Amino acid sequence: MFTKPEIKLLKDFYDHCAFTCPVSGEEKTSNWNQTYWTFEQMENLILGEEEYQKAPLPAWLFEYSKYRTHSAACRQTNRKRTMLNTLRGNKEFPDNLLVCEVGYGVDVVVAMIAREWKEIRCYDRSGAFEKGLLEFFVEQHGLTLIFETSISAHFRFDEIKKNTVVVSNETHIGVGEPSERIRNNEKLIYLRNGEVLDKSNMPKTTEEARRTIGRGWF
């Protein structure tokens, strides 16, 4: 799936994440650890799913074994691979990108491999990720990347004026007004877990979200 230069880029990004690590105190004590989960996804992408599944469980996984397994990492990383294929296979897509709840930027580096982008916007609830994102993607690789501190429920999707691909992988957009902002903006192509989602079918209630799409909308 990846060429040798692309694997090198993934490894460089992995190393960069290892040196930035803005782990919050809350993250260390909660059932979600963005830093370690990022490392797992990157190892999966670099090794490939088959080799990754054979790899020994890292020490952190025993500490957080109640909520993370290799199978979960494979499932979510495969959505990155689906996104890669979707972006590669749709040459007519606009060259502006918005990444929801960007974290360290795994979705950004995968999108960067898929194609060239005129502008990349991204947001996350934690501003701690901005420095690392700008260092790797802007300073080291010359991308035009704009970071904003926000949560999905408050992000103004309705104010985007440029034709844009929106990437939302395992993202808690929310039903009601937040999803309406995406649905009603004709400038947006919406990728949900790697696949193009028909915006007219976006759920309007939490019950509908659970039934049709699953976790991530509420």
CATH number, residue 108: 3.40.50.150
pLDDT (tens digit, 0 to 9) for every residue of the chain, 218 residues total? Answer: 899 999 999 999 999 988 776 554 444 444 456 777 788 899 999 999 889 888 877 665 555 555 456 777 788 899 999 999 999 999 999 999 999 999 999 999 999 999 999 999 999 999 989 999 999 999 999 999 999 999 998 999 999 999 999 999 888 776 677 788 999 999 999 999 999 988 776 766 656 655 555 544 43
Number of domains in the chain: 2
CA angle at 170 for the pair 168 and 171, rounded to the nearest 5°: 60
Residues 49 and 128 reside in one and the same domain: no
CA-CA distance, 155 to 133, in Å (whole number)?
A: 19
CA distances from 209 to 113, 164, 174, 176, 178 (A): 31, 24, 9, 11, 13
Does residue 87 sit within a domain? no
Per the structure, the complete domain to which residue 120 belongs is given by 92-212
Q: Token digits for 54? A: 């054979």
Does residue 192 sit within a domain? yes
Beta bridge partners of 99: 122, 167
168: number of Cβ within 10 Å: 23
